[in-house]
Amino acid sequence: MQPYLFPVIQGEKTGKRLKEIRKERKIRVSSVCDFMGGISERAVYKWECGACLPSLDNLLALSHLYHVPMEDMLVYEETEMVSFLFPLPVKHLRWQNDLHHLF
């Protein structure tokens, strides 16, 4: 199997990006909460510090509020992966023979 590049979202950097976008647009955290149906400010702060990522529904809502495509809010890097039935990071393979033991 040939390795390929697989995008991996960087949580902390994505959080910083979300905060940066919100501040550029001069939107308060409380306004984000109101727009999104009353989610807690704590949830927004957790997204912005990278403790967790918003769900896809919430990310879509943020993209509408901020007028930014969803992909532009995400920070990711491409990691080399090997695919069988699921992606497996190449760095987790201890030996080349591990590939044969997966089947």
> Residue 57 pLDDT more than 60?
yes
Please state the pTM of the whole predicted model.
0.74
What is the identity of the amino acid at 101?
H
Give me the domains of the chain, ranges plus CATH numbers. Answer: 4-101 (1.10.260.40)
Residue 68 confidence class, pLDDT cut points 50, 70, 90: very high
In this prediction, residue 102 carries a pLDDT of 47
**Strands of 87-89's sheet, edge to edge?**
4-9, 76-83, 87-89
CA distance 21 to 47: 13
In this prediction, residue 38 carries a pLDDT of 86
